[in-house]
Amino acid sequence: MLNKFRTRAIGLRGYQSSALCPHIDGYLCWMTDRGYSRITLHGYLGHLRAFASFQKAKRIKLADLDDSHVARFQHWYKKSYSGPFPRRKSHPSSIGKAQSAAVNSLLTYLRITGLVPEQKPADAGQFILHEYFQFLRVHRGLSEATIYNLRKIAKKFHGWLADHSLDYTSMSGKDVEDFILACENPSTPTVRQQVVGFLKGFLRFLRTKQIIGDGCLPFLPSRRHYKHAALPTILTEADVHATLKAVDRATPNGKRDYALLLMLKTYGLRGGELTRLQLNDINWRSQIIHVKQTKTRRNLDLPLVPSVSRAIIDYLRRGRPKRAKVRSLFVSTNAPYGPMTTAGIARVVSKGFDCANVKIAKRGSHIFRHTRATNLLRSGKSLKTIGDILGHRNPNSTFWYCKLAVSDLRQVALELPGGAE
């Protein structure tokens, strides 16, 4: 396999003198199976040859490789590398990203094959966080999407402590309060609630583990925040039409994005529900889409609307990568063709707004959900029906949209006693 990519003798000698040489063929087969192109792998091999020189120069054993060596390699490459393959005249950031991608993919392969041990937490603090998230996953039953959001707050808190030369054993209640104040601006009320909520749970966990004492646990009052106090942001019919029309449906990306946006508009699905859709969740014979709801964890059956059906078929035939191994409906158009994430769907929505020149502050996929609910209410659907369509477990979640349809509420208002007007 290596001979197909490196035909020059000088390139082969570079690998044959390295401890990585016996594993390069397996790595290339693994990457090819994941859908990476020959051109991409040819570029990766150039960076891996330099990494092999770094490993040899620093006398690093194969079993001792870990994530820290990626940054060390990049620093060494800039200062010391003078191999037979000259560096291309590319932007330094582009070279750095390609190097990181190449080496990280190799480390992943070596870990899968058992040649390199799994990465251990870098310090005691990271180990504690790892243990805490395992607790949330196993004992609290939190979803991976929730844990992903909490990880971002934990990373910020861990970094803040490190910047102030603190750790979990040396921090005080005042330090925790200072961190909350540091998150105050320009955070939204929802973000502040998430920060305080994470800290309350995490500090209780630390106290249970006897890492901190009772005196270290500060009183963390949540800022008063009324749920559903503000009006939901919605799109106009013209905005929705312009966003869909702006998608370039002649490209594979465009076919995927159009089908995705049309499903958001038609069904008001959550972003996480779109990422969970599998190919076998669409019953073409009965024209039903089976949706696994992310919040309520219930299954919802929705009719496959003809316009959505045509868009999905067009995407499956001419847009979805043939090399994709996963069964997810929407996948990345770049190798390794994994399932789309909620962040990826948010980027598709934001890109659609930019192309259509839609000026709106909140640009996430949830805005289509708000728009769908409000349009259903204005069309005369009952709150119970709307709640069933959107999969609301709490009726108050549906009642929130009544605020946007004040003019329509007159039709269902009760007559005042005495004939008052």
Active site residues: 270, 295, 366, 369, 392, 401
Cβ proximity of 387 and 397 under 8 Å: yes
On whether the CB atoms of residues 297 and 272 are closer than 8 A, the answer is no
Identity of the amino acid at 30: W
**What three-state secondary structure class fits 289?**
strand
Take residue 158 and report the two structure tokens written for it: 């861990």
Token output for 124: 């005691």
Q: Dig out the tokens for 322 from the structure.
A: 């043939």
List of residues 6+ apart from 264 with CB closer than 8 A: 274, 349, 365, 368, 369
Q: HEC states along 234-294?
A: CCCHHHHHHHHHCCCCCCHHHHHHHHHHHHHHHHCCCHHHHHHCEHHHEECCCCEEEEECC
Closest CA to 105 of 64, 156, 45: 45
Q: Exposed, middle or buried by CB within 10 Å (0-12, 13-18, 19+), for 410? A: exposed
What is the residue type of 322?
K
